[in-house]
């Protein structure tokens, strides 16, 4: 799925992409910035979601695989990793696929980064119904 259309502004595309990918979790992130950095919330909607996530070429599932891998490799992005694991599940990834994506990062980012990611996933999966 891609969210395109020149008739939409970057902000409108971003809001549509965020809703499709993250649902309420994404809206919570945007809302939590309203009192401290509303411009940053808009930038986040316009650039990553309005421009990048909305491009053709990769579906949302593939984009979330890449995002989960990147956040795991960084090793210090637990809150963002949590949001994007939920987004991955929302766009069709299974828990097993999420675990495999994170484990793959041990090869490239090291065991500590992969362990951090696995613990984020474990806690998140345990909290899901």
* Each residue's pLDDT tens digit, 76-107: 999 999 999 999 999 999 999 999 999 999 99
The Cα-based distances of 129 to 6, 98, 124, 125, 126 in angstroms read 39, 17, 10, 8, 8
Residues near 74 by beta carbon (within 8 Å), at least 6 away in sequence: 109, 113
Q: Which structural domain, as residue segments, surrounds residue 99?
A: 60-127
* Each residue's pLDDT tens digit, 14-27: 999 999 998 887 88
pTM, two decimal places: 0.88
CATH number at residue 73: 1.20.1290.10
Both tokens assigned to 12: 């409108």
Q: In the chain, how many domains are there?
A: 2
Give a yes or no: residue 19 inside a domain. yes
Give a yes or no: residue 1 inside a domain. no
């Amino acid at each position: 799925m891609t969210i395109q259309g020149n008739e939409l502004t970057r902000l409108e595309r971003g809001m549509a992409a965020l809703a499709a990918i993250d649902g309420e979790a994404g809206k919570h992130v945007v809302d939590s910035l309203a009192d401290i950095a509303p411009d940053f919330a808009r930038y986040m909607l316009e650039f990553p979601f309005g421009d990048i996530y909305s491009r053709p070429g990769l579906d949302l599932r593939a984009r979330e695989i890449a995002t989960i891998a990147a956040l795991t490799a960084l090793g210090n992005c637990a809150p963002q990793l949590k949001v994007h694991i939920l987004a991955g599940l929302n766009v069709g990834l299974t828990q097993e696929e999420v675990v495999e994506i994170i484990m793959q990062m041990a090869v490239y980012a090291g065991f500590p980064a992969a362990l951090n990611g696995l613990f984020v996933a474990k806690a998140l999966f345990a909290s899901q119904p």
